[in-house]
Structure 1
């Protein structure tokens, strides 16, 4: 990867490798979690504690910051969208503020890590050989709690991608795993208006079918599904139907493909990166190769996810609206073929370059997202 080539990924969080290195090894991380629980902390509190420890070390230890930078350099990814969120037992808005503060601490501590708020800035960061973070919110309805003015607050804090819903229905619309077939609400339309006016991006990745179609039709600006799958390739509620993808195409939108095996290959044993390519190729057949990309959502697929927290995390994501039977039946930290830790992201790059010509592959790896962002704002 040349320093000037943008490589974009939707990742939800910092790589697990970052936390593992903060503790020295997977064994030490698991031991730390066991000790936290033995001291009377809940698994949720242990989760928060390990991230707080990572941030404190990032702030204070130059060698650790250099080690983290090498993770991104090895991965070959220089632009990432992450979700400020936490697992503590508080409202989404309060938890988001806590994790926003963590990210701001990282930005303040490392001159090579930047909060990116515009496509032009993203290009400058990539050209300089640095790493840019595009903040997002995955549940705007919960994050603003009925107040449109809180969209302004999120925008002023640097959030640029706004998902109206997560898995469940909220005041804005219906999520992708909610039994309701409702669409974008009147309040949801007002939220889309506010995001458009501010210059943010409406992201329908977790929205239900009708909410997705309504948002695409209603938004004055092109809409993205930054991390989704194709239901025509393998049906999953986190995927998008051909009808939704066709609507994205008509509205000059964008779609990124996830790499989580239990989303893109539900029920398959040991799927590999060919599955990811199948979703990319199908999306390209509708949207065209210049409006697709990657949103691996590689969290917590990393096989170095702490064993002590796996069962807790499964329970948590069930509470967030993921299907209980599917979550309990699958190993959610299994990776996808050669892609088992974030440092193995080059395997994704190699896979994309096999079926797509060089210029198209470069677009899928990052340029397509930036061009979309430029036309969406």
Structure 2
């Protein structure tokens, strides 16, 4: 079984769709060691266009200097990366602040390779409400225009961290599938950042996907969640809406163990609370230990082995690992 799992891992296209750990570009090495095919650095958070352009520029410089990396603009780029033994880089915004108040910036960032943009990050913005906002008012007039322009520019609409009504509005208005790149099932663990069965079904019915997260506060109430607790979210959502709708958005980040000392992690945590990016209800205090066995991206083969042991067949694991997102990317970005 171990040999079969190892070969399955080696031969699969594996995409982690949310990788804020890559704020430190040196961490690409850990993803490569874990056998990842394509990874998605968060190149836009809460800053405007100027700061975000500098971040994207640093990634384009790295891509120019390193022959082992490929900028992903289409699904074919990921397949090419796998065939050549390279690593695909998917540029991802966790929030719309980089576009400021300009629809034209959507086209500008798309031209620079940004393929995915979240509509909110926990709180209200010009587009709509985040998932931890006091209200849940849905898309604004500007938000409706953003969805239309993202569809026209062929940029993936991501409703992670986004309010329920805002997400349902996005699904209704979008002409392309809407995804949730990283969220777990609220029925398995009732974090405010996890999503209800209703929302999981709505995303699935619109042809979208939901990525399972390893951030411990979204996996379970345990400080050190187990690999099985992580897989429980995969199994639950597969049973609810089908394996074709489930992906990976593990969300490794620089504030977790072993990348951050406890003091540094606590400083980052207090800053996130102070500026309302996070709430204590959804984000417990550090330290943060990702599920045992996959504490870092290096451990990803352990997930493959345990999925096989849990009874997932090879075809389904390949879908969860990469084929489901490839379908989304091909639909929206092109082959």
From 14, 18, 26, the equivalent of 1:7 is 14
State the Cα deviation string for residues 288-337 of structure 1 (Å, max 9, x = none). Answer: 1122111100113642223252122112322252113654x432432211
Correspondence list, 1:201-216, <5 A = 201-216=156-171
Find the counterpart in structure 1 of residue 3 from structure 2.
none
Over aligned residue pairs, what C-alpha RMSD do you find? 2.2
* Structure-to-structure mapping, 1:34-53, within 5 angstroms: none
**Matches of 1:84 and 1:324 in 2, distance apart?**
25
Query: Which has the larger displacement, 301-310 or 349-358?
Result: 301-310
TM-score by length of 2: 0.89
Between the aligned partners of 1:151 and 1:310, the Cα distance in structure 2 is 33
CA deviation vs aligned residue, 1:228-281 (integer Å, no higher than 9, x gap) = 11111111121111111111121111111001111221x323211111111111
The count of corresponding residues between Structure 1 and Structure 2 is 323
Gaps of 5+ in 1: 21-67
Specify the SS of the correspondent of 2:171: helix
* Separation in structure 2 between the aligned mates of residue 357 and residue 212 of structure 1, nearest angstrom: 32
Measured in 1, the distance between the counterparts of 2:187 and 2:136 equals 20
Among 305, 315, 339, which residue is 2:259 paired with?
305
Alpha-carbon distance between aligned partners in 1 of 2:298 and 2:100, rounded to the nearest angstrom? 37
Distance apart, 1:349 and its partner CA = 2.3
Shift of residue 157, structure 1, vs aligned partner: 0.9
Q: CA deviation at 1:223?
A: 0.8
Residue 79 in 1 paired to residue 38 in 2? yes
Select the residue among 342, 345, 349 that pairs with 2:300.
Answer: 345
Larger radius of gyration: 1
1:239 is paired with a residue of what secondary structure?
coil
1:99 to 24, 34, 55: 55
The Cα shift of 1:358 comes to 1.0
C-alpha offsets along residues 169-214 of structure 1, whole Å, 9 cap, x if unaligned? 1010101111111111111111011111111110111111111111
Identify the residue that residue 73 of structure 2 maps to in structure 1: 117
**Residue aligning to 1:253:** 208
Q: Which residue matches 1:129? A: 85
Structure-2 residue corresponding to 1:278: 232
Query: Does the CA contact (< 8 Å) of 1:221 and 1:376 recur in 2?
Result: yes
Distance 1:3 1:9, change over 3 A: same
Gaps of 5+ in 2: 1-6
Over 4 Å off, 4+ runs: 1-4, 14-20
Deviating more after overlay: 209-218 vs 97-106 = 97-106
Q: Distance in 2 between matches of 1:155 and 1:171?
A: 20
Distance in 2 (alpha carbons) for counterparts of 1:253 and 1:99: 28
Provide the TM-score with structure 1 as the length reference.
0.80
In structure 1, what is the Cα distance between the partners aligned to 2:227 and 2:65? Answer: 35
Alignment partners' CA distance in 2, 1:350 and 1:8: 17
Please state whether the residue corresponding to 1:298 is helix, strand or coil. coil
Say if 2:333 is the partner of 1:374: no
Q: Structure 1's 129 and 302: CA in aligned 2 closer, same or farther, altered over 3 A?
A: farther
